[in-house]
Structure 1
């Protein structure tokens, strides 16, 4: 799986330091796919959104290439078979433990802890997933939807089938695989970050 990705970080340290260490490992409480390097995939749209909301547009946006063998990616965006297997395994584990593991992050961290002991519970290098935030057609940064058919042709107007666009796709690369599969491309925001500005222009 080859993906063009974008990472957002604080504007702290020299360009050389950021280039060497980014993408940075997320260790916060809201790491929704577990501990790892988080990157927005395919477009910088959601990276710009995150920079605006999390860093007041003062952060750095960096373009990376992520190249991971397909069998090492748990793809919860583009692989329905893996979606089914993931959900069924989550349900079975919750049942065996006699407690509901209520979120994806907790389940992934549980599996990775098991994998440290047995080496086979969770062998993936990364997870690709999306969330489903509120849809707002009037905002620049929002998931959009278009109905497949007119409402009048559907028996229940409240459940007309639709497709979503501009979805929030991310890939989380686990720390031990970052150096192997993630490659720096360039700084994309601010446009002059990492360059020297002279009278002749930017170099």
Structure 2
């Protein structure tokens, strides 16, 4: 199965149209990233891309095409969420590499630290791949609004959530395809 997403990438408007076109998307900084270092996109809608940074900014649209077995979807796949929870639960004092993990990331188990650590282990080439994913999609608690499912009950539907998808550097050419600029208007 192949997934295809619209992805929106926000960057500073520096260097002019051609320089940005030749460089987008930009890889994130190496440390303290939500999903590890990679290329970050807001998926499906440009709403959060527009909110992300003050002007002057540029928003470019991409098509992201990913094979299911290379995609960890922490937004739309409950089994992927269960899998990732089970991975995070092994990061405690009994984990054979816990001392190395805590030297790099401290004692907190965070999404970005777990992914970065497992990808680092994989890059070292020690045995079977621990994190065989080309991309991960996640969300946080932000939203534009909540609407009750049924009057008088507490269950709510969160609307317009920020879904971010991170594509790792070594998969860039296979997954990411530039479409066009959507902001500022004179770049469109």
**TM-score calculated relative to the size of structure 1:** 0.80
Say yes or no: does 1:171 pair with 2:172: no
Q: Number of aligned pairs?
A: 175
What residue number does 1:87 align with?
Answer: 85
2:156 matched residue in structure 1: 162
Q: 1:86 to 1:143 in 2, by over 3 A?
A: same
TM-superposed CA distance for 1:12, in Å, is 1.2
Structure 1 residue 48 corresponds to structure 2 residue 50: yes
In structure 2, C-alpha distance between the alignment counterparts of 1:24 and 1:174, rounded to whole Å: 12
1:38 alignment counterpart: 40
Q: Partners of 1:30 and 1:90 in 2: how far apart? A: 17
Aligned residue in 2 for 1:108: 115
Work out which of the two has the higher radius of gyration on C-alpha atoms and give 1 or 2: 1
1:130 maps to which of 131, 139, 145? 139
* Contiguous gaps of at least 5 residues in structure 2: none
Runs of 4+, deviation exceeding 6 Å: none
Q: CA RMSD of the aligned region, Å? A: 1.7
Q: Counterpart in 1 of 2:147? A: 146
User: Where does structure 1 lack aligned partners over 5 or more consecutive residues?
Assistant: 134-141, 155-159, 195-203
1:197 corresponding residue in structure 2: none
Could you tell me how far apart the structure 1 residues matched to 2:74 and 2:23 are?
Answer: 27
Q: How far apart are 1:30 and its partner, in Å?
A: 4.4
Q: Write the distance in 2 (CA, Å) between the matches of 1:72 and 1:21.
A: 25
Work out whether 1:24 is the aligned partner of 2:31. Answer: no
1:182 aligns with 2:184: no
Q: Any idea what the Cα deviations from partners look like across 1:138-166, whole Å, max 9, x if unmatched?
A: xxxx4311111212xx4xxxxx1111110
For residues 131 and 94 of structure 1, the distance between their equivalents in structure 2, rounded to whole angstroms, comes to: 24
Deviations 1:95-126 (A, max 9, x none): 53367542111110011011112351111001
Paired residues of 1:67 and 1:181 also in contact (CA < 8 A):
yes
Contact 1:5 1:65 in 2 (8 A): yes
Say if 1:143 and 1:168, in contact at 8 Å, map to a contact too.
no
Tell me the alpha carbon deviations over residues 77-97 of structure 1, each in whole angstroms, 9 at most, x when there is no partner. 011001001001110233533
Deviation of residue 68 (structure 1)?
1.1
Q: Alignment partner of 2:94: what SS?
A: helix
